[in-house]
Structure 1
Amino acid sequence: MNFLQNLEDSLYKGFINQAKPSGDRFKPTLLINNTKTNDTVLNSITEELDSCQSFLFSVAFVTESGLATLKTHLSDLNRKGIKGRILTSTFLNFNQPKVFKELMKINNVEVRLSSMKGFHSKGYIFSHQTHQTLIVGSSNLTAQALKVNYEWNVKLSSHENGELVHHFYQQFEEVWENAQPLTEQWITSYEQCYIPIEYRKELKNVAEFPEVYTENPLKEAINIKPNKMQEAALQQIQLVREAGNDKGLVISATGTGKTYLSAFDVRSFAPKRMLFIVHREQILQKAKSDFIRIMGGVESDFGILSGNLRETDARYLFATIQTISKEATLNQLDSQAFDYILIDEVHKAGAKSYQKVIEHFQPKFLMGMTATPERTDDFNIYELFDYNVAYEIRLQEALEEDMLCPFHYFGVTDVEYEEGVIDEATAFSKLITEERVAHLLQKINYYGHSGEKVRGLMFCSRKEEATKLSEELNRRGLKTVALTGQNSQEERILYVDRLENGIIDYILTVDIFNEGIDIPSVNQVVMLRQTQSSIIFIQQLGRGLRKHGSKEFVTIIDFIGNYKNNYLIPVALSGERSQNKDNIRRRMKDTSYIRGISTVNFEEIAKNRVFSAIKKSNLSDMKILREAYLELKNRIGHIPQLQDFIQHNSIDPLVIVQKYTTYHHFLLKLKEINPLVTVYEEQVLTMLSLEILNGKRLHEILLLELLIEKEQVTMDIYEQSIKSHNCTSNLETLASVQRVLDLSFFNQGPRKKYGSKPLVVFRENSIYFNEDIQESLKKNTSFRAMLMDLVMGANELSKNYKCDQALTLYKKYTRKDACRLLNWVSDESSTIYGYKTKHGSCPIFVTYHKNDAVESSVAYTEGFISPEIFKWSTRSNRTLASGEVKTIIDAAENNIDVHLFIKKDDDEGGDFYYVGQALPDKENIEQALMTDKNLKEIPVVHMHLALENTVESKLYHYITSEEN
């Protein structure tokens, strides 16, 4: 199907009859910001931008944050030599002078300013090789309009000869010719006459935004109301107490107002005396000040216990752990002196100093607060609080609730030398070369910061790097200081104060600012070190997430080298903990999980480095799985079931069983249990773990649920269950279910591994487990529990698939999966050499980027011509007269369903993305010659497969992109 025909069909569908069958790529579309589906106007603009040959924007309003969402895309286009033009204005004095300075940094974009009265256009035009795309409507180039606001925009595709697109181009050119070029001189002139719009500087609720308020000299409680998160948390904490518990743990992302929350709860609890414990002295005064704002009272009610200050008689005592944990201090304080105790950064409570204090006091209520309860020191923070998680809000939820300062994360390329890219083994001398410093300055200047002056933190990999790099930056005109563990607390406080007051531009450090320090005005965080752990990554990113009146967002610039732990970047940003490589890849190619106006962006080369790290990582290594397992076990207080892993977004159970066959075997390896099942019971669990747990077909799961509940069910009852779940109930599928559960579907090897005999017996109208399984269910409670857990876990995972059709678009399947789900009589995956036609279906499996070692006879020229057309090749030594080829060519006439499965490369294992049904385009079929390994010419047939569904853009770009 050619482009024009596809376009005509799409336009007919969009403007005349929506029932018209056509691909989705060119149909007219209404673009809105849909928070439920994570679809945004920005997604469509960046997709068009990434594949265009040139572009034009006509937008009245531009903000720094809006421009930031496109900077990596524009940088990649610049590397490819692709240019664009932006037409904007000074209408209503909306555009700030600084945004024009940011526009000047983008070398491949020419900008002009319209002097037209009332210039208020919002349109984006993209020129592609075959067509033009227009996005026109209500969205200006602002982050709010592109990601959050309720906007209406229409996306239209046009041939280059289309009249509508010519009107747009003509209008653009007319205004462009009369517009003023953007220059440094023009910006200087504009700055002198610019009058800011005051309503843009409205302050937010003080509970979310406390740092913009001055001290209250009267020490009276300010009428501050809890924000949305704090109201919910206060209710949950109260429920914990009402349930008779005397401990509660609050898990709250950095910057979400934990101190204010604790003050609200203390005010509600009204203790006779309260103790607030922190691990650093510089936090004490801030905590005390915050409590005074919330609670009011006389100055003497609030005291400090730290260093030389010993105000131990105060009603509300704020103490450092270093001082209060001293034997002499504890001896002076009665064990029941405080009826409410708060511990900040309570994940440190495994230390002896904390344990000593906790054991000494007997409060009526103990509250712990942390942003990172997951620890690597084997201390179980959840157990300390009797597994009472009173409230939890992580980074994603906090962003969605607008509790944090929005951020724009940029994964950028680190410098590359002749001997390679910076990695763990790079010599120190290479970290501070002229070339790297220049590269660093170029990137931090290009990606910029919100606000008039940079206030930045740089996290370096080594102390020597921080010190030397600070010297190099100072030599180039910046004002920076290096702070390491060797600097005193007084020095740290001094330079933090200088940073906040704009006296210096950057503090360079290694890891001393990972947590426990507030610098609300930080507007740029630069990461120059390898990603050590997702916990540290989020801690460092969090240094900029405090809201502050001087910034609208924080810029995170992460220099990505060839580090083996690069895969932790998408893990940390998304909160992904499944240890499933496919899930992590998905987080790289689709970053829409970041809510609000925040964005995650990777330069193309940097993205490829992360993908490379994902490929090379061994996420099923026992050490990694053990840590994740213990983390969940610590949280829930018992050995997890498979359902617990799913419910708590922990390890993907499929990762466990793919390596250890069964969860029971995994627990044995961990020495968590002694053997609980017989050899045959283990074989049954193996079959269900490897074949059913994935949830790819609900039918088997529903039957197993019935059989666990009842010893025997009728076919009628089973069919009723299938229909009640709106699943397909044709005879072919029911027969396939029987073959799977009686093991006749499987080859001899798997059958033996699964115990050889049918798990489920189908006799006339009755269905039941075999006698051995029935006996085990009665006598072995452990086996019964494991079987139920497997089936319930499979039921949960089945929600990822559609039950009314055999295959779900864009999900991953193996060749064996295809045989089973397409209702083949037996597993013929070992003989599907790329494709096979049988039982009314023809699955085709393609590895898109073939290994260099693949022989020329099978390294066909295959690939997407467009998201609707795939150029495919048969096996070698096939002609147009070959029976298997003729069968596929005439698939429609033969009632054969052709299904196309594609994986990016062999590093993805044996799973392929299902991209839908397809039919050969009979106008694009040809017999050709290719050379085999013996340099002999042999025939092959090439054909275009027209897909029933246009491949979703993110998957399309992921599969087709070349990676390093």
Structure 2
Amino acid sequence: MEEANIKNNLTETVLNNFIDQEQHLPDGNLSANLIFNQNARNNVYRVLKMKLATCKAFTFAVAFITHDGLSNFLTILADLKKAGIKGRILTSTYLYFNKPEVFRALMKIDNVEVRIFDDRDEEGELLPFHAKGYLFDYGQYRSVVIGSSNLTSNALLKNYEWNLNVNSLENAELTEQISLSIENEWAKSIPLTQEWLNVYQIKYEHNQFQQEQPIVEENSQIEQHIEPNKMQEAALKELASFRKNGKTKALIISATGTGKTYLGAFDVRRYQPKRFLFVVHREQILEKSLHSFYRVVGGNLSDYGIYSGNRQDGLTAKYVFATVQTLSKEENLKKFKPDEFDYILYDEAHHLAASQHQRVFNYFKPKFCLGMTATPERTDDYNIFKLFDYQVAYEIRLEDALKAKILCPFHYYGVEDYFYQDQLIGDKASLKRLASNERVDYIIQQTEYYGYSGDVLHGLIFCSSVEEAKALAVLLTEKGYPSQALSGADSPETRNQAVQALEAGKLKYLLTVDIFNEGIDIPTINQVVFLRTTQSSIVFIQQLGRGLRKASSKSYLTVIDFIGNYANNYLIPIALSGDKSHNKENIRDNVDMDPIVDVSVINFTEVAKEQIYRSINNKNMSNLLELRKEFQLEKMRLGHVPTMYELQRDSIDCQVIADKCKHYVKFLSEMKEETPEFSEYQLKVLQFLTVVLANGKRKHELLLLNSLLDNPTISEQEFERIAQDNGCYFNSEVMYSVDQLLTLAFYDRKSLPNKDSFGGHSLIKHQNGSYQLNNVLLEALQNPEYMSFFRDAIETGLLRSEQYQSDQLFTIGKRYSRTDACRILCWEKILPGLNIGGYRFDDEHHNCCIFVTYDKNDGASLRYPDRFIGQSILNMYSKTKRNLESKDIKAFANPNYDLHLFIQKSDDDQASFIYLGTCKAMPKSFKPQTMKVIKGKDVKLESVVSLNLKLDTPVDLDTYYMLTKVKY
């Protein structure tokens, strides 16, 4: 932005902010505003992150810093280092709040200079330092955030905080005051050095020793009374309700680390069985499980026994804890009667597909049977849900457990893997490259930079092969990180010894491929490292879960994912978000939005993001094989062929079905399910419902059709009431638009292929002030099977419409196609020719759709340099052969037109554009320009007009960052 524009915009903004908001138009990027923690999408952290990502230099002056607060910005700071951007942090030793580990972490950030406040009074006493300010330099202007937020995770994400964001030019008095104050304190401060830190460590420990209170450690022998948490209590109520209703089986789905064992013990305590059996697949679990049950259920310890290869005292015990390997042997099973136990609990119930488990499961006939698992979804077509009569009593998924604070928060860092000769490590990398000295040095550099919570490193590394794990363990040990590789070939004794060595701090890392996916409980793990491509979102979550158990020695888990040139990188956002929609737009947006759960933060470096985007773009998300797997999982879960509504609710987005198969009958056929025979007309109507209406972007048509299924006639007044009762905007233009759509008059033959297949019949009749379904459709709906598919499509669309704000034309931040925009704006006909980067005015309705592709492909004949000037202004270019007197240029300047702005990152988004809201053309911004037009080898100059669009709602931080910073 030119300096004159900056000054003019800032002048208008100041007058708006401080004098009269009615008379002056502000630049949202330069506005003064209050920043506080409203929600996961709008908080102090996101504002500071955005400012950091776009600044040219920065200075933080903050009294208190925590390691988890600092770690939120490590990927941004790493990217700034690559761009040559440096910063400063001024902090303090006030109240000994800042731990030595924070200063150690600060010393690892090469592009940040750190100093310690050291201003003293006349007696030489250190003055209390309680500043909280963040200064960002953008070259032509500066931005400062001053308020109550220290650099701590709670202050940035959770606490009720007030911070004022103000902007000014360099020669402004405010900027000068802040700069002089910072420079004055900076000059008096002490540089952070290792020598200073050594002295501070001693002072800090002395202070802590004086203030310490006794702490009960995990391994303390002091027993505490245990009661269920809120989620466990809810699960227990459901189990009690199941039994009250005569159900004899139930399945609990509970994320790793959420206390499945204790939940089972609480239920057994309430059930009070005469005899109880606990079945596990690993002997290492038995002793701890028995102790957990004893703590909850109580009674005599002699009532508890283990039945395994090494111990047989469970034969006569009231509460038996057995391994399936021992119990499944025929001679051992016969030692028990089939009805010996009135309550049986199968831990890690997804293993019931194995023959040993099946033998046990089919032999015993308990009064109640409970299965517990974190991952019921299987890829071997075995239906765990069927074993438990499709009775899922309760689900505690990862996000729910994090919100409920059952699990330890985590900080996930997606970083690029090692580059060898300018090539990123990929799927075909040799062991020589994977286990080279250079790569190990790089791994150590990154793991040290991103760090861990606590005083001692307890790390777990997942590798791509056993050979890689062994080779890396040797190299890490040689470089000062004692490590051990473990595989399935190692004995239980060897594994137990290695785990004990890790917990004791004798080992820094355990390296494995997948033997720690489940069944191992190491609460002290404070760093999980992924050095392999993600093969399964299920396995990803299992491995992540190894470090999510709480421990007093850590406040969060560090997860470092080394992302290489892997085809499966698209699975990372799927795993982190839990999105099973197979919708490429959703998955890409999940990367853009950096999901936050409470104080768990997910960040990617820009290079890592580019790798994920490339994988998403190259992956066919609607591949029939992948869809079939997802479909079968839902079928197993439900116990019947899912409806489209059920898929939309739980997994596959109906728009994927629409794009791939046009309607659900065809989709079921592709899923190898039997389908009824319908006429061409019936199928075309289903296609129309699925492709056009089921996206839910305007639900008026869905509401009308749904009402007409149960009522032969609906009056115009009733239709309006139904729409308004469902929170929809309504006027005569909408009514006319609904008519145009449901009579198919909106379409021509190009925009609605096979329009003739409808036989000239519209879906509805609108006459004499009332609506009816047309006679042909009414006759088709006499078929109960067809009625089921028809209603399913409508209900699916109504479900999907919950994603949108129905009381408005469009929902800011949601994606729309050009056809969607034409329909929702109530245009009479779909208008072809809306080119990428184009716009279209509708003089009848006085509105305009503007479609912008932000990053044009290199091969584009016209590469419009449309660019944001802050979050509130988009500089855009007109079509060619335009001047200031052109009709459409004058229309842009006409305040009576509503301008609707849609944008996409690149052509990879295909027909999908993000709606950014309404905007206005800034009157003084219109400028004649020339632009190169490339046609083959010919290049010529064409006249265009550039203008600035002022958004009524500034672009949200995540979308702005995705559009302006990240390349894909």
**What TM bracket, shorter-length normalisation?**
over 0.9
1:492-531 to 2 correspondence within 5 Å?
Answer: 492-531=495-534
Equivalent in the alignment of 2:899: 898
Identity %: 43
For 1:842, the equivalent position in structure 2 comes to 848
CA pair 439-381 structure 1, distance change in 2 beyond 3 A: same
For residue 308 of structure 1, report the CA deviation from its aligned partner.
2.8
**2: CA distance, partners of 1:84 / 1:609:** 28
Shift of 1:455: 0.9
1:664 aligns with 2:665: yes
> Helix, strand or coil: the match of 1:125?
strand
Q: CA deviation at 1:147?
A: 1.4
- 2:598 counterpart residue number: 596
Instruction: Decide whether aligned partners of structure 1 residues 400 and 38 sit closer, same or farther in structure 2, where only a CA change above 3 A counts.
Output: farther
Q: CA deviation at 1:759?
A: 0.8
Decide whether aligned partners of structure 1 residues 768 and 23 sit closer, same or farther in structure 2, where only a CA change above 3 A counts: farther
Task: Compute the displacement of 1:196 (Å).
Answer: 5.4
Q: Quote the Cα distance in structure 1 between the aligned partners of 2:687 and 2:709.
A: 17
Cα RMSD of the aligned pairs, angstroms, is 2.1
Are 2:829 and 1:822 equivalent residues in the alignment?
Answer: no
- 1:860 maps to 864
In structure 2, the residue matched to 1:801 is 804
Per the alignment, residue 682 of structure 1 pairs with 683
Give a deviation string over 1:509-567, Cα, whole Å, max 9, x none. Answer: 11111111111111111100000110110111111111112111111110000111111
Correspondence 1:706-785 to 2 at 5 A: 706-749=707-750, 750=752, 751-777=755-781, 779-785=782-788
Of residues 334-343 and 922-931 in structure 1, the stretch that sits farther from structure 2 once superposed is 922-931
> What secondary structure, in the 3-state scheme, does the structure 1 residue paired with 2:48 have?
helix
Q: Distance in 2 between matches of 1:436 and 1:280?
A: 35
Cα contact 2:457–2:508 (8 A) shared by 1: yes
What is the CA distance between 1:26 and its match in structure 2? Answer: 3.4
SS at match of 2:580: coil
Code of the aligned partner of 2:92: S
Cα–Cα, structure 1 residues 285 and 200, in superposed 2: closer, same or farther, change >3 Å? farther
Which of 609, 630, 639 is residue 632 of structure 2 equivalent to? 630
From 246, 252, 255, the equivalent of 2:254 is 252
Secondary structure of the residue aligned to 2:515 is coil
CA shift, 1:686, in A, is 0.7
**Helix, strand or coil at the partner of 1:810:** coil
Contact kept in structure 2, 1:891 and 1:919, CA below 8 Å:
no
Q: Residue by residue, what CA displacement relative to the aligned partner does 1:374-430 show, whole Å, maximum 9, x if unpaired?
A: 111111111111122111111111111111111111111101122621111112211
Call closer, same or farther: CA 1:134–1:201 in 2, change over 3 Å.
Answer: farther
Alignment check: 8 A CA contact 1:449 1:554 kept = yes
Q: How has the CA–CA distance of structure 1 residues 131 and 646 changed in structure 2, closer, same or farther, with 3 Å as cutoff?
A: farther
Q: What is aligned with 1:956?
A: 960
Q: Secondary structure at the match of 2:497?
A: helix
Q: Residues 199 and 921 of structure 1: is their aligned pair in 2 closer, same or farther, counting only changes over 3 Å? A: farther
SS at match of 2:760: coil
Equivalent-residue separation in structure 1 for 2:967 and 2:168 (angstroms):
31
**CA shift at 1:353, angstroms?**
1.0
User: Which of 183, 189, 193 is matched with 2:193 structurally?
Assistant: 183
Q: What does 1:320-335 correspond to in 2, within 5 Å?
A: 320-335=323-338
Q: What is residue 123 of structure 2 aligned with on the other side?
A: none
Alpha-carbon distance between aligned partners in 1 of 2:677 and 2:157, rounded to the nearest angstrom: 52
- Aligned residue for 1:719, secondary structure, equals helix
1:302 corresponds to which residue? 304
Task: Please give the per-residue CA displacement for 1:469-515, whole angstroms capped at 9, x wherever unaligned.
Answer: 11111121221111112211211111111111111111111111111
1:140 is aligned to 150
Are 1:27 and 2:37 counterparts?
no
After TM superposition, the structure 1 = structure 2 runs for residues 262-341 of structure 1, keeping only pairs within 5 Å, are: 262-311=264-313, 312-341=315-344
- The equivalent of 2:654 in structure 1 is 653
- Within 5 Å, give how 1:433-582 maps onto structure 2: 433-582=436-585
- Residue 121 of structure 2 corresponds to none
Cα distance, 1:862–1:361 mapped onto 2, change above 3 Å: same
Return the letter of the residue paired with 2:129: F
| Structure 2 residue matching 1:336: 3-state secondary structure | coil
Q: Which amino acid aligns with 2:756?
A: K
Counterpart code for 1:643: Y
Higher mean Cα deviation, 23-32 or 813-822? 23-32
Which runs of 5 or more structure 1 residues have no equivalent in the other structure? none
> Distance between the aligned counterparts of 1:415 and 1:201, measured in 2?
43
Does the C-alpha gap of structure 1 residues 937 and 179 become closer, same or farther in structure 2, counting only changes over 3 Å? Answer: closer
CA, structure 1 residues 291+831, in 2 after alignment: closer, same or farther (shift >3 Å)? Answer: closer
Kindly indicate whether the alpha-carbon contact (under 8 Å) linking 2:62 and 2:150 is maintained by their aligned counterparts in 1: yes
Q: CA deviation at 1:355?
A: 1.0
- Counterpart CA distance in 2 for 1:596 and 1:923 is 45
Shift of 1:272: 1.1
The secondary structure found in structure 2 opposite 1:848 is strand
C-alpha contact 1:579 1:652 (8 A) present in aligned 2: yes
Q: In the alignment, which of 616, 619, 631 is matched to residue 617 of structure 1?
A: 619
CA distance in 1, matches of 2:26, 2:653: 37
SS at match of 2:334: helix
Which residue does the alignment assign to 1:943?
A: 947
Structure 1 residue 125: deviation in Å?
1.5
Q: Tell me how far apart the structure 1 counterparts of residues 212 and 840 of structure 2 sit (CA, whole Å).
A: 65
Offset at residue 199 of structure 1 (A): 12
Shift in Å, 1:875: 2.5
Equivalent pair of 1:578/1:651 in contact (CA under 8 Å): yes
Correspondence 1:75 to 2:78: yes
Q: Quick check: 2:624–2:670 contact (8 Å CA) kept in 1?
A: no
Match of 1:370?
373
| CA distance in structure 2 between the partners assigned to 1:121 and 1:332 by the alignment | 72
Residue aligned with 1:748, SS: coil
> What is the match of residue 410 of structure 1?
413
> Which deviates more, 318-327 or 631-640?
631-640
Q: Is the 8 A contact 1:668 1:675 kept in 2?
A: no
Q: What does residue 54 of structure 1 align with?
A: 57
For residues 729 and 506 of structure 1, what CA distance do their matches in structure 2 show?
A: 62
How far apart, CA to CA, are the structure 1 residues paired with 2:443 and 2:736?
63
Q: In 1, Cα distance between the equivalents of 2:939 and 2:591?
A: 41
Change (3 A) 1:864 1:801: same
Instruction: Tell me the equivalent position of 2:930.
Output: 929
Aligned partners of 1:868, 1:175: CA distance in 2, in Å?
35
Letter in 1 for 2:733: E
* 1:450-477 Cα shifts (integer Å, max 9, x gaps): 1111111111101111111111111212
Report SS of the residue matched to 1:720.
Answer: helix
Q: Distance in 1 between matches of 2:709 and 2:27?
A: 45
Inter-partner Cα distance in structure 2 for 1:773 and 1:688 = 13
The alpha carbon displacement at 1:698 in A equals: 2.2
Deviations 1:229-270 (A, max 9, x none): 222222221111111111111111111111111111111111
Cα 1:25–1:480 change in 2 (3 A) is same
CA 688–250 in structure 1, closer or farther in 2 if over 3 Å, else same = same
